[in-house]
Amino acid sequence: MKFELYLVRIFTSDWERSAAFYRTTLELPEVFSDATAGWAQFSAGAANIGIERVDPADPEGQDLVGRFVGASLQVDDIDAAYESLLRRGVEFLGPPVRQPWGGALAHFKDPDGNVLTLLGQ
């Protein structure tokens, strides 16, 4: 059996705002978008990011919004990406931090407070 990561789902309470963030602010290529269904997919290299609208009347669904996603987006130059995204208004939890294994990480929030990670050198 062979497994390949296809998609990471990120839940949103404001689908239009989040879809615009991933499309325009992060400049991820849009693979599919359906506002009626509240679903959009963006290419992030070997896998996709899926933005999924959560029904505001669904308390269990709302618990999925604004969490640490555990998804890392790798960039060639983390310092340049960090500065560029800061200028675009992206909220970071802090600047890139060098890791003992040689890389660097910087955590940022999407408009719903979902936390993703930049990974780079």
Look up the CATH number of the domain holding residue 88: 3.10.180.10
CB of 78 closer than 8 Å to CB of 119? yes
Give, in order, the Cα–Cα distances in Å from 5 to each of 2, 14, 61: 10, 26, 23
* pLDDT at position 25: 97
Q: How far apart are CA 47 and CA 118, in angstroms?
A: 15
Identify whether 1 is part of a domain. no
**Domain count within the chain:** 1
Q: 110 has which bridge partners?
A: none
Identify whether 43 is part of a domain. yes
| Residues listed for the chain | 121
Identify whether 2 is part of a domain. no
Give, in order, the Cα–Cα distances in Å from 69 to each of 34, 49, 102: 22, 11, 23
Identify whether 50 is part of a domain. yes
In the chain, which ranges are continuous DSSP H helix?
Answer: 15-20, 59-62, 78-87
Identify whether 60 is part of a domain. yes
Contacts of residue 47, Cβ cutoff 8 Å, sequence gap at least 6 = 5, 6, 7, 8
Identify whether 13 is part of a domain. yes
Ranges of residues in the chain whose predicted pLDDT is under 70:
none
* pLDDT at position 59: 87
pTM of the model: 0.93
Domain that holds residue 30: 7-120
Give, in order, the Cα–Cα distances in Å from 14 to each of 8, 9, 37, 85: 18, 15, 13, 21
